Amino acid sequence: MSDILLHEVKGKSEIITFNNPNKLNVLSDEMLELLLNALEKSSSNPKTKVVIIKSTGKAFCAGHDLKEMQNARINSDDGIGYFKDLFKRCSKVMLKIKNLPKPVIAEVQGIATAAGCQLVATCDIAIASKNASFGVNGVNIGLFCSTPMVALSRNIGRKKTFEMLVTGDFLTANDAKEAGLVNHVTEENELSKKTNEIAQKITEKFKRVVKIGKEAFYNQAEMNLEKAYEYTSNVMAENMIYEETKEGISAFIEKRDHKWTE
């Protein structure tokens, strides 16, 4: 991995760290490629159960690299082709997080703007420092945050999302929690502790159950009510025949610890 992105395994958790604070951890072409590669490695690692995405410096992620984008606009013979490819690659990263067979936690210590805010909205769980802030402020420079609004509008109410998109206004960490964008807000020095606490709880669960649960959660959200109940009924029926589920229920009834091998 390049020094601008770090990827390490600690126990049953994987930690992906944006490490380009001088450039506000922007999603440059290189960063997007490195992030996708890290997520693909995480997806295929059978020994881990949760992924944490965090950053160094004052910014969590300031979105795409505007200087890189402007240079491409000036120097490319096919400017629109570059931008279509860029946003396609970014969308691929976001979909990879959604489809990852384990939960992904965003640990947000600072500003998260545009595609950085999109990344937070895409992660399954988000923990924020009280110093964090969130915005889709591309409209301020004449670029509507169309792809970030996909994830954002699936996390918070439509009217609040639209207001953020057309005004460029930011949410404080507490505002983001109230809106449903983040799960918890902590003091800055308590941020990693809270993230690790939640990650630890996830690692204690049976991995296959969490995997099918995450998949079902996102699938049913796109269905009408009748289809959602039909689909999730089948998922639960399949879950019930797992040997590990049989053991978990038996342990609960018998008031003992379960004996999962995983």
Phi then psi for residue 28, to 5 deg, are -70, 170
Q: What is the pLDDT of residue 243?
A: 87
- Give the residue, 57 or 247, on which the prediction is more confident: 57
Note whether residue 46 is domain-resident: yes
Give the bridge partners for 64, in sequence order: 27
Give the bridge partners for 184, in sequence order: 127
Phi then psi for residue 111, to 5 deg, are -70, 140
pLDDT score of 173 more than 80: yes
Residue type, 35: L
Q: Which range of residues forms the domain containing residue 224?
A: 207-253
Whether 34 and 141 share a structural domain: yes
Q: What is the pLDDT of residue 6?
A: 97
Q: What is the pLDDT of residue 230?
A: 97
pLDDT score of 19 more than 60: yes
Question: Which of these, 243, 239, 223, lies nearest to 231 by C-alpha position?
Answer: 223
Q: What is the pLDDT of residue 258?
A: 84
Give the Cα-Cα-Cα angle 159, 162, 168 (nearest 5 degrees).
130
Question: Which of these, 18, 12, 16, 94, lies nearest to 45 by C-alpha position?
Answer: 12
- Asked if 203 and 49 count as a contact pair (C-beta separation under 8 A), the reply is yes
Domain boundary among 163, 180, 203: 203
For 23-67, write each residue's pLDDT tens digit: 999 999 999 999 999 999 999 999 999 999 999 999 999 999 999
Q: What is the pLDDT of residue 1?
A: 52
For 97-149, write each residue's pLDDT tens digit: 999 999 999 999 999 999 999 999 999 999 999 999 999 999 999 999 999 99
Buried/exposed code over 143-163 (b: 16+ C-beta within 10 A; e: otherwise):
eebebbbebbbebbeeebbee
Whether 184 and 237 share a structural domain: no
| Tally of structural domains, the chain | 2
Whether 93 and 163 share a structural domain: yes
Whether 121 and 31 share a structural domain: yes
Helix, strand or coil for residue 14? strand
Count of beta carbons in the 10 Å neighbourhood of residue 24:
20
Whether 142 and 239 share a structural domain: no
Whether 194 and 217 share a structural domain: no
Distance CA 53, CA 30 (A): 17
pLDDT score of 177 more than 60: yes
Distance CA 59, CA 133 (A): 9
- Asked if 61 and 122 count as a contact pair (C-beta separation under 8 A), the reply is no
Q: What is the pLDDT of residue 2?
A: 67
Whether 138 and 226 share a structural domain: no
pLDDT score of 198 more than 70: yes
Note whether residue 259 is domain-resident: no
Q: What is the pLDDT of residue 135?
A: 97
Whether 9 and 95 share a structural domain: yes
Note whether residue 161 is domain-resident: yes
Note whether residue 79 is domain-resident: yes
Structure tokens at 149: 């609004």
Whether 42 and 80 share a structural domain: yes
Of 6-15, 41-50, 115-124, 247-256, the range with the lowest mean pLDDT is: 247-256
pTM value?
0.94
CATH number of the CATH domain containing 237? 1.10.12.10
Whether 137 and 199 share a structural domain: yes
Q: What is the pLDDT of residue 165?
A: 97
Q: What is the pLDDT of residue 221?
A: 94
Residue 176's alpha-carbon distances to 11, 117, 121, 131, 181, in angstroms, are 30, 11, 10, 12, 5
Q: What is the pLDDT of residue 197?
A: 98
Distance CA 64, CA 62 (A): 7
Whether 218 and 172 share a structural domain: no
